[in-house]
């Protein structure tokens, strides 16, 4: 044995490292030292005489590949090629592409290049971009390739878009080959074609790489697994079978990218007889967190038997927040984070996970209100997202027709046949007439320098803006809805055919909800010496103040991210919010058993990121696409053993919610006599929906006791104290 290789390994890790000839599957549970095992195994092979160039190690990101190679060298091994599937195939094709008619110096097209070519082909065949975006066609072509299929396999169905994909499939690939170019999917498919059609080439690579290791095997798609079986065939097919795959079916969460959990589930039978090593010792989480995760994932059927264990202490109970609404949820989470900071926790060890990006909006506002810096990992803050900035630009133009920057952003979004040259012509005519760009859009006499298509598009835009401007008299929500209806923006934003289509739709729905909440909170005329503007101007000011409060890049911050982005990370303190049916699990998996199992794997990933503490939250009521809906707690919450959970409520709330989530019996109120006694004219209070304000008047007694509160936006509201849930803040001079 090599002491440096085996030191600090447990029995199962050592067994995986020292395994010799033949197939090996390492089922590596969360926090079980997977990367350590992979790198130690590579180093051990080299120390036992295997040359570095005989080892092919594959993973999914360049960052992971670089880290693995670095660790092997630190262990005393030579430089070993650790590559992504795409980079390895791209390199091999430089030597082999001639076998299928490509030049050795072929070009690699990125997504933008691909879509540009598809746009050209659509123009040649007189297919209007209004029928389908080139990106939508390109993404469907990519989906078919990742599933190792063609339009002839019948996956596409008979919709208009699918018929266009079928129509463009052959011309696209013919044009690519003529240009000696490959897209990212072709890198894998073309090398697979070579291995299948040229046995001599396949044999060369099998002899060249007698040892193959694959990290994150649960994330492989059909094409990648077919490649592996030809690069390193099982003994039953005459190969060495020296393939080691490392992964965890319980963490297979990329089905939307084409990953097939069946690959890791079928590996044992495909490579029989196969040695299976289970890494079940968790070095990350407390026993309570681990038991919660294991109990939840045990409800899945598509998995390998594996039970994580830990030598760590039980640790703190898992906190369970049942909030009345999303505002209370966000505010309470922010308060809890501040408490952690007050106890000495660094914000870098605090993370918030959510199922979808749109859930970040309320959290961002709560953190800004409390001055807690945060960072959105793997994405943009809510109001920085492209679709949100587009719609806000529309709203700004309604209020300020002189805003040429906002008008230029949206004049051709969605496309109206107004390209860069046409826009400059319109700008020139506007300048000559002494008009803003918005005014020029509404002045048909200035459009004579434009194409017929552009003139028609501008006429429709002018009509929509006029209608939205009239609707703005009713508030921000009415203006936004008029824009969405008049422009078809939702269809535009959700027709790219990629995984972000649903994300963009959810974000737009959340913006609608935000305008509804703002309008509802400000439906009484403001008063005071310096009132905020009402309606749409007030909403845009509200948004501007939020976005101007964004933190700089320096200093520690709470990390906020989707659960997908959290894969591979770990934090001392984790918050998982939005745990309601239809949110997490997503409503899109309601009738899909396989999709529901992937949602449960997402929950497993979320839980196992936490090292010390975990807080899980849901809201009884949540604004969804502008309508308040009563939510039911996520089934994943019910799957966690009750003895692991501790109900958590903010100190100012003296009621609890039942898990059925109903309004009639779902919650009860026990008034806090001290809190009620402390309410008097001039004190500051906080409300779940309306924020902070000052008590103006008190009336009534007992169950009829009422308070009138003027909130910080100048709006006064009256509450029955027994049911208001007002939080008593500090006294202040009135």
pLDDT of residue 72: 82
Of residues 610 and 306, more confidently modeled: 610
Bridge partner list, 614: 574
Question: What is the arithmetic mean of pLDDT over 59-72?
Answer: 83
What pLDDT is attached to residue 158?
65
Q: Tell whether the model's pLDDT for residue 47 goes beyond 90.
A: no
Is 34 a known active-site residue? yes
Residue 462 has what pLDDT? 93
pLDDT of the residue at 656: 54
- Catalytic residue (choose from 35, 193, 295, 630): 35
Q: Which pLDDT value is given to residue 152?
A: 79
Q: Among residues 215, 498, 514, 599, which one is catalytic?
A: 215
Name the DSSP letter for residue 215: S
Q: Which segment of 93-107, 386-400, 449-463, 714-728 scores lowest on mean pLDDT?
A: 714-728
Residue 548 has pLDDT above 70, yes or no: no
Q: pTM here?
A: 0.79
Give the chain's length: 734
Mean pLDDT of 220-236: 92
Instruction: Mark whether 404 is an active-site residue.
Output: no
User: Is residue 288 scored above 90 in pLDDT?
Assistant: yes
Best-predicted range by mean pLDDT (1-5, 90-94, 254-258, 499-503): 90-94
The DSSP secondary structure of 395-423, one letter per residue, reads HHHHH-TT-HHHHHHHTTSS--S--HHHH
**Which range has the worst mean pLDDT, 506-515, 581-590, 665-674?**
665-674
Helix (H, G, I), strand (E, B) or coil at 208: helix
Catalytic annotation, pick one of 12, 13, 34, 611: 34
**Residues in a beta bridge with 582:** 586
pLDDT tens for each residue of 585-632: 998 887 788 999 999 999 999 999 999 999 999 998 888 877 778 899
Q: Check: CB of residue 615 under 8 Å from CB of residue 574.
A: yes
The per-residue pLDDT for range 478-490, each reduced to its tens digit, is: 999 999 999 999 9
Active site residue 216: yes
Residues 6+ apart with CB under 8 A from 13: 33, 36, 37, 40, 279
Which H, E and C letters describe 417-463, residue by residue?
Answer: CCCHHHHHHHHHHHHHHCCCHHHHHCCHHHHCCCCHHHHHHHHHHHH
How large is the average pLDDT for residues 239-268? 90
Say which of 609, 635, 686, 717 is annotated catalytic. 609
Interval 6-15: pLDDT, tens: 888 999 999 9
| Residue 378: closest CA among 652, 172, 561, 579 | 561
215 classed as catalytic: yes
How many angstroms separate the CA atoms of 43 and 17, rounded?
A: 9
Nearest to 395 by CA among 541, 501, 255, 567: 541
Which SS3 state, helix, strand or coil, does residue 32 take?
coil
**pLDDT band with cut points at 50, 70 and 90 for residue 666:** very low
pLDDT of 99 higher than 90: yes
Residue 110 has what pLDDT? 85
From 216, 226, 510, 581, the catalytic residue: 216
State the average pLDDT over residues 121-132.
Answer: 89
Left, alpha or beta for 378 (phi > 0: left; psi -120 to 50: alpha)? left
233-250 pLDDT, tens digit per residue, is: 988 888 778 999 999 999
The half-sphere exposure of 507 on its side-chain side, counting CA atoms within 13 A, is: 24
Q: Which pLDDT score is estimated for 621?
A: 87
Geometric angle at alpha carbon 82, from 2 and 99, rounded to 5°: 130
Q: Is the bond leading into 585 cis (omega within 30 degrees of zero)?
A: yes
pLDDT in tens, 357-405: 899 989 998 998 888 999 988 778 888 889 999 999 999 999 888 888 8
pLDDT digits (tens, 9 = 90+) for 642-651: 999 999 987 6
pLDDT tens for residues 166-216? 999 999 999 999 888 999 999 999 999 999 999 999 999 999 999 999 999
Whole-number percent of the chain with pLDDT over 70: 89
d(CA 323, CA 661): 10
Which tens digits make up the pLDDT trace of 390-402?
999 999 999 888 8
- Given a cut of 60, is residue 715 above it in pLDDT? yes
Average pLDDT over residues 665-693: 64
Q: What mean pLDDT comes out for the span 18-30? A: 93
Q: Which of 220, 251, 464, 477 is catalytic?
A: 251
**35 belongs to the catalytic site:** yes
> Under 8 Å CB-to-CB from 121, ≥6 apart: which residues?
168, 171, 172, 175
Do 422 and 464 meet the contact criterion of CB atoms below 8 Å apart? no
**pLDDT value for 11:** 93
For residue 278, what are the β-bridge partners?
A: 27
pLDDT band at 25, cuts 50/70/90?
A: very high
Provide the pLDDT confidence category of residue 299 given band limits of 50, 70 and 90. very high
Mean pLDDT of 682-703: 76
474 is catalytic: no
What is the torsional sign of CA 667, 672, 675, 680? positive
pLDDT above 50 for 220? yes
Q: What percent of the chain has pLDDT over 90?
A: 49
């Amino acid at each position: 044995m090599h002491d440096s290789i085996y030191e600090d390994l447990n029995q199962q890790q050592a067994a995986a490292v020292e395994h010799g000839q033949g197939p090996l599957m390492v089922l590596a549970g969360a926090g079980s030292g997977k990367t350590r095992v992979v790198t130690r195994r590579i180093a051990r092979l080299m120390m036992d005489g295997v040359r570095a160039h005989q080892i092919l190690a594959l993973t999914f990101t360049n960052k992971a590949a670089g880290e693995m190679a670095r660790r092997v060298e630190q262990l005393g091994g030579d430089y070993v090629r650790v590559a992504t599937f795409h980079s390895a195939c791209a390199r091999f094709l430089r030597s082999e592409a001639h076998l299928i008619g490509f030049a050795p110096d072929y070009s690699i097209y990125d997504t933008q290049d691909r879509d540009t070519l598809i746009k050209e082909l659509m123009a040649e065949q007189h297919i209007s971009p209004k029928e389908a975006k080139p990106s939508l066609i390109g993404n469907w072509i990519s989906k078919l390739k990742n599933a190792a299929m063609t339009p002839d396999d019948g996956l596409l169905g008979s919709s208009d878009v699918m018929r266009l994909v079928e129509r463009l499939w052959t011309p696209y690939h013919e044009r690519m080959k003529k240009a000696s170019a490959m897209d990212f999917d072709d890198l894998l498919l073309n090398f697979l074609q070579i291995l299948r059609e040229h046995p001599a080439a396949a044999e060369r690579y099998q002899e060249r790489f007698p040892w193959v290791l694959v990290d994150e095997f649960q994330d492989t798609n059909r094409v990648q697994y077919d490649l592996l079986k030809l690069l390193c065939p099982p003994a039953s097919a005459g190969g060495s079978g020296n393939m080691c795959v490392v992964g965890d079916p319980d963490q297979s969460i990329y089905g939307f990218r084409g990953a097939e959990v069946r690959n890791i589930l079928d590996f044992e039978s495909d490579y029989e007889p196969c040695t299976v090593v289970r890494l079940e010792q968790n070095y990350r989480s407390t026993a309570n967190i681990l038991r919660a995760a294991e109990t939840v994932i045990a409800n899945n059927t598509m998995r390998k038997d594996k039970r994580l264990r830990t030598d760590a202490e039980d640790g703190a109970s898992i906190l369970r927040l049942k909030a009345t609404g999303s505002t209370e949820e966000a505010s309470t989470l922010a308060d809890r984070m501040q408490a952690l900071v007050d106890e000495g926790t660094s914000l870098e060890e605090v993370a918030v996970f959510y199922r979808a990006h749109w859930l970040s909006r309320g959290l961002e506002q709560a953190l800004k209100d409390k001055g807690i810096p945060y960072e959105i990992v793997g994405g943009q803050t809510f109001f920085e997202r492209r679709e949100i900035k587009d719609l806000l630009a529309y709203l700004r133009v309604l209020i300020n027709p002189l805003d040429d920057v906002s008008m230029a952003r949206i004049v051709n979004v969605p496309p109206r046949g107004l390209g860069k040259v046409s826009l400059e012509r319109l700008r020139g005519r506007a300048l000559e007439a002494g008009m803003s760009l918005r005014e020029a859009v509404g002045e048909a006499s200035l459009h004579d320098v434009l194409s017929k298509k552009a003139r028609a598009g501008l006429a429709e835009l002018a009509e929509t803006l006029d209608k939205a401007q009239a609707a703005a008299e009713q508030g921000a929500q009415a203006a936004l809805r008029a824009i969405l209806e008049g422009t078809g923006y939702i269809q535009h934003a959700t027709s790219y055919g990629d995984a972000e289509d649903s994300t963009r739709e959810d974000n737009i729905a959340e913006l609608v909800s935000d305008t509804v909440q703002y309008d509802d909170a400000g439906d009484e005329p403001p008063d005071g010496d310096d009132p905020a503007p009402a309606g749409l101007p007030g909403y845009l000011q509200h948004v501007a103040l939020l976005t101007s409060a964004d933190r700089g890049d320096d200093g520690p911050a709470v990390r906020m991210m989707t659960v997908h982005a959290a894969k591979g990370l770990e934090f001392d303190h984790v918050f998982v919010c939005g745990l309601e049916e239809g949110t997490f699990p997503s409503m899109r998996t309601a009738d899909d058993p396989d999709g529901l199992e992937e949602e449960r794997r997402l929950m497993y990933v979320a839980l196992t990121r936490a090292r010390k503490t975990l807080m899980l939250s849901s809201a009884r009521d949540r604004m969804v696409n502008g309508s308040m809906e009563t939510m039911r707690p996520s089934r994943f919450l019910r799957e966690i053993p009750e003895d692991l959970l501790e109900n958590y409520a903010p100190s100012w709330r003296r009621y609890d919610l039942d898990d059925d989530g109903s309004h009639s019996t779902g919650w009860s109120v026990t008034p806090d006599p001290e809190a009620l006694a402390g309410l008097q004219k001039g004190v500051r209070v906080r409300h779940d929906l309306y924020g902070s304000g000052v008590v103006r008047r008190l009336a009534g007694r007992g169950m009829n006791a009422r308070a009138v509160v003027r909130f910080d936006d100048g709006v006064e509201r009256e509450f029955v104290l027994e049911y208001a849930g007002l939080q008593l803040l500090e006294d202040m001079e009135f």
